[in-house]
Amino acid sequence: MGSYTHQQLEEFLSPCDIAVVGASPNNQWFGNILKNALKAGFGGQFYPVNPRVDEVQGIRAFRTISDLPDGKIDLAILLVKSSIVLETLEKLRKKGITNVLLVSSGFAETGEEGWHMQNRLRQYCTEHCIVLMGPNCLGFINLLEGVSAFCGGMVEGKLIPGAVGVVGQSGGTSEAILTKILKKSVGVSLYLTTGNEAMLTAEDCMEYLVYDESTRIITCFIEEFRDIDKLRQVAFEAARRKIPVIILKIGRSVKGRNAAASHTGALAGNDNIVDGLFKQLGIIRVETIEELAETAAIFSRCRLPKGKSLGICTLSGGLCGLYADLCEKYGIELPSLQEKTIQRLGGLLPEFARPDNPLDVTGSGFLQGLNEIVRSMLEDENLDIIAPIFIPPQDKDDPARFLNESYMSLIDMVEKPVIPIIFREMTDYAEKYLYDKGLYFIEDPDIGLKAVSHLIEYAEFLRHRA
């Protein structure tokens, strides 16, 4: 690890007793912290510190840091003004508290003066071995351990523990990312925001996730890399462990780079270099929050394909053309079917249907179920991934269930990824059905096929590496 050891960070991310310096009844921060902790199932305790009150949100407050119980506090969350951060760190250190989550803003993101203040902060933490997250961040949620030291108010949905790590330099944006991932019923291991990164960087967090033995997919929102060497090492080790790294890196545009600078004081760098570096390191670059969540979902639920050839089966000729255009846009191959498959499909489809890829089974071609059609495609050696039509049932009595279930039993019989492609509007029932089966599915073909292309490219990267 870089400046911090894995064990240091492990301790930092699993506190039981958390002081909250600057907790106040006059703003939302402490309330947010409590709400998030409740949601995460946190079993530990909070110790608000405020010189003017006896309690905050019904929890006993301490007037000063020195009043805190000795040797008990694992982590301090700082909500105080930037001008008194250094003296507060000093008081914490005297109390033996060296794990600090610094939420306060007013550092490098505000200009030159703040930049100097942040440098002094860094120097202090380095000299005194303080583990510091922030400033200008929202904290973290350790979903696997049920620990939350997070003061954002925008994460929505149930916190599902799982295998996706989420790192964000921007608090607000990463809250949206976490929300979108959870909304897809994809579980998250750790969610970490790093803000201005006076000490702990996104690269450090990625490194931690690569080695934590629980995270299988890493996602990041990045405004600026601070340590390209570490990024290289992390990406190399991630590839060795077959852990895909998915990054939304802003700054393609000049305006985007400026926004990054005034936000977390980042210098966003030349974007073409980022593209080249990512390609070399096998890092998957995405362009939007939606694409990031979609890509996390496909890696969570899909085996890696052996090649880049997709077989699609739908029941609208118009959609065949639409899908074909999108596949070409994203570099997904739609090879011709093998002769034996054409023969078999000839016997299965109505006379006027033409066995091809994409395959239009036609309106009357699927009435007896898709079992044999999907089986023929699964056994076609030209195809590496199969995307069969899925018509979302409204409920368990909907006849559409039959169509879909006709091929579900085949899915575990083969190593090829099977990705249902939704025809008609999605229903809650169907969504749950597919989630329960652990299947990734394509709802919006543009973003869905882009995610498929990421899966293909990553599998190819690992093959070339081996």
Which chain residues interact with a second copy by CB under 8 A?
105-106, 109-110, 114, 154, 156-157, 168-174, 176, 179, 183, 221, 223, 248, 250-260, 262-264, 268, 287-291, 315-322, 324-329, 334, 352, 354, 356-358, 360, 362-363, 423-425, 444-446
Q: CB of residue 254 vs a second copy: minimum separation in angstroms?
A: 8
* Residue type at 295 in one-letter notation: T
Residue 409: phi, psi to the nearest 5?
-65, -20
Q: CB of residue 327 vs a second copy: minimum separation in angstroms?
A: 7
Q: Which is nearer to a second copy, 312 or 410 (CB)?
A: 312
Q: CB of residue 442 vs a second copy: minimum separation in angstroms?
A: 12
CA 466, CA 220: separation in Å to the nearest integer? 25
Q: Tokens for 465?
A: 């590496």
Q: Which is nearer to a second copy, 82 or 98 (CB)?
A: 82
CA 389, CA 367: separation in Å to the nearest integer? 13
Q: CB of residue 11 vs a second copy: minimum separation in angstroms?
A: 28
Q: CB of residue 14 vs a second copy: minimum separation in angstroms?
A: 27
DSSP assignments along 267-325, one per residue: ----HHHHHHHHHHHTPEEESSHHHHHHHHHHHHH-PPPSSSBEEEEES-HHHHHHHHH
Q: For residues 24 and 149, is the Cβ–Cβ distance under 8 A? A: no
Q: For residues 249 and 269, is the Cβ–Cβ distance under 8 A? A: no
Q: Which residues contact 436 (CB under 8 A, 6 or more apart)?
A: none
CA 407, CA 423: separation in Å to the nearest integer? 16
Residue 135: cis peptide before it, omega within 30 degrees of 0: yes
Name the residue with tokens 């305790």: 45
Kindly give the pairing relationship between strand 139-142 and strand 75-78.
Answer: unpaired
CB atoms inside a 10 Å sphere around CB 412: 9
Which of the 8 DSSP states describes residue 352?
T
Q: Which is nearer to a second copy, 19 or 176 (CB)?
A: 176
Q: Which is nearer to a second copy, 287 or 381 (CB)?
A: 287
Q: Which is nearer to a second copy, 63 or 120 (CB)?
A: 120
The CA-based dihedral angle spanning residues 175, 177, 179, 183, taken in that order and rounded to the nearest 10 degrees? 180
Q: Which is nearer to a second copy, 141 or 210 (CB)?
A: 141
Q: CB of residue 390 vs a second copy: minimum separation in angstroms?
A: 14
* Residue type at 24 in one-letter notation: S
Q: Which is nearer to a second copy, 93 or 252 (CB)?
A: 252
CA 268, CA 254: separation in Å to the nearest integer? 9
Q: CB of residue 360 vs a second copy: minimum separation in angstroms?
A: 7
Q: CB of residue 287 vs a second copy: minimum separation in angstroms?
A: 7
Q: CB of residue 241 vs a second copy: minimum separation in angstroms?
A: 28
Q: Which is nearer to a second copy, 234 or 310 (CB)?
A: 310
Q: For residues 40 and 141, is the Cβ–Cβ distance under 8 A? A: yes
Q: Which is nearer to a second copy, 142 or 357 (CB)?
A: 357
Q: For residues 171 and 137, is the Cβ–Cβ distance under 8 A? A: yes
